[in-house]
Amino acid sequence: MKKIVAVMLAGLMLAPSVFAAKKISKKIPIGVSMPTKELQRWNQDGANMKEQLEKAGYKVDLQYANNDIAMQTSQIENMVTKGNKILVIASIDGSALKAVLDQAKRKGVKVIAYDRLIMNSDAVSYYATFDNYKVGTIQGNFLVDKLNLKNRTKADPAYIELFTGSPDDNNINFFFGGAMDILKPSIDKGVLVVPSGQTTKAQCATLNWSTEEAQKRMENLITAQGYGPNGKRLDAVYSSNDSCAMGITNALVAAGYTKANFPIITGQDCDKPSVKNMLAGTQAMSIFKDTRTLAAKVVGMVDALMQGKKPEINDTKTYNNGTGIVPSYLCDPVFATVDNYKTLLIDSGYYKAEDLK
Query: Per residue, what are the HEC states of 248-260?
Result: HHHHHHHCCCCCC
Cβ contact 60:50 at 8 Å: yes
In this prediction, residues 26-52 reach a mean pLDDT of 88
Q: Between 162 and 306, where is the model more confident?
A: 162
Length of the chain in terms of residues written: 357
Percent of residues, the chain, with pLDDT higher than 70: 93
- Interatomic CA distance for residues 118 and 91, integer angstroms: 7
- Interatomic CA distance for residues 289 and 117, integer angstroms: 16
pLDDT value at residue 59: 92
Across the chain, what does the average pLDDT equal?
A: 92
Would the pLDDT of 16 be above 90? no
296 closest CA partner among 148, 79, 73, 130:
130
In this prediction, residues 74-92 reach a mean pLDDT of 95
Alpha-carbon distance values, 81 to 31, 32, 34, 175, 186 (Å):
11, 14, 18, 35, 53
DSSP code at position 124: E
CA 131 centroid distance within chain: 9
Percent of residues, the chain, with pLDDT higher than 90: 85
Cβ contact 209:243 at 8 Å: yes
pLDDT value at residue 20: 41
In this prediction, residues 125-145 reach a mean pLDDT of 97
pLDDT value at residue 252: 98
pLDDT value at residue 212: 98
Would the pLDDT of 34 be above 60? yes
Would the pLDDT of 119 be above 60? yes
CB atoms within 10 A of CB 288: 21
291 closest CA partner among 40, 81, 94:
40
Alpha-carbon distance values, 129 to 73, 92, 286, 296 (Å):
21, 15, 17, 11
Would the pLDDT of 23 be above 50? no
pLDDT value at residue 10: 42
Which uninterrupted H or E stretch holds 130? strand 124-130
pLDDT tens profile 210-242: 999 999 999 999 999 999 999 999 999 999 999
Backbone angles phi, psi at 62, to 5 degrees: -95, 125
- Interatomic CA distance for residues 326 and 320, integer angstroms: 6
In this prediction, residues 325-345 reach a mean pLDDT of 97
Question: Which stretches within the chain are classed as H helix?
Answer: 2-23, 40-55, 69-81, 98-106, 132-146, 171-189, 201-204, 211-225, 242-254, 272-280, 291-306, 341
In this prediction, residues 123-148 reach a mean pLDDT of 97
pLDDT value at residue 24: 61
Would the pLDDT of 330 be above 80? yes
- Which pairs from 334-337 meet CB under 8 Å and 24+ separation? 334/138, 334/287, 334/288, 335/138, 335/139, 335/142, 335/285, 335/286, 335/287, 335/288, 336/270, 336/275, 336/278, 336/285, 336/286, 336/287, 336/288, 337/278, 337/284, 337/285
- Interatomic CA distance for residues 93 and 169, integer angstroms: 6
